Structure 1
Amino acid sequence: MAIYESDHTKFMREWMAKHPEELEEQKKGRALWWDRPQTLETQRQYDEGKVPNKAYPYSTES
């Protein structure tokens, strides 16, 4: 049984094979938006700001 691969995925695989220099640009973009260092202070602030989930999230009652 064949594994499905979208047209976009096929295009990107072919394009990256033809343009290997773009791998570095891809890594720079990821580092810019996703791979950010976090401090313990930042993590503590995130933890303090969490709100507990409702038992049933689709309920219209408070």
Structure 2
Amino acid sequence: PYKSEVTSFIEQLKAQRPALEAEQRAGRALLWDKPQDRAAQADFNAAKVAQQPYVYQTSDK
């Protein structure tokens, strides 16, 4: 079966660095996988402002 150059590269990289995916998950956890603060989320939701149907419109004409 056909394998693209990108697929071959990724497979080779994973073979050379078996811990690569674990490192990526650890990096993601630094920024994204955080517990949510319900009080802060409620404040964010209460502070939302309705968006105009056409976002670039500057007046109500």
Please report the TM-score for the alignment, with normalisation by the length of structure 1.
Answer: 0.66
Paired residues, number = 57
After TM superposition, give the deviation of residue 22 of structure 1 in Å.
1.7
Q: What is aligned with 2:53?
A: 55
**Pair member with larger Rg:** 2
Matched letter for residue 37 of structure 1: P
Percent identity reads: 34
Question: Given the alignment of the two structures, is residue 29 of structure 1 paired with residue 27 of structure 2, yes or no?
Answer: yes
Runs (4+) off by over 3 Å = 9-14
After TM superposition, give the deviation of residue 55 of structure 1 in Å.
2.2
Please report the TM-score for the alignment, with normalisation by the length of structure 2.
Answer: 0.67
Q: Please, what is the CA RMSD of the aligned residues?
A: 2.5
Q: What is aligned with 1:44?
A: 42
Change (3 A) 1:14 1:49: farther
Structure 1: state its 5+ residue gaps.
none
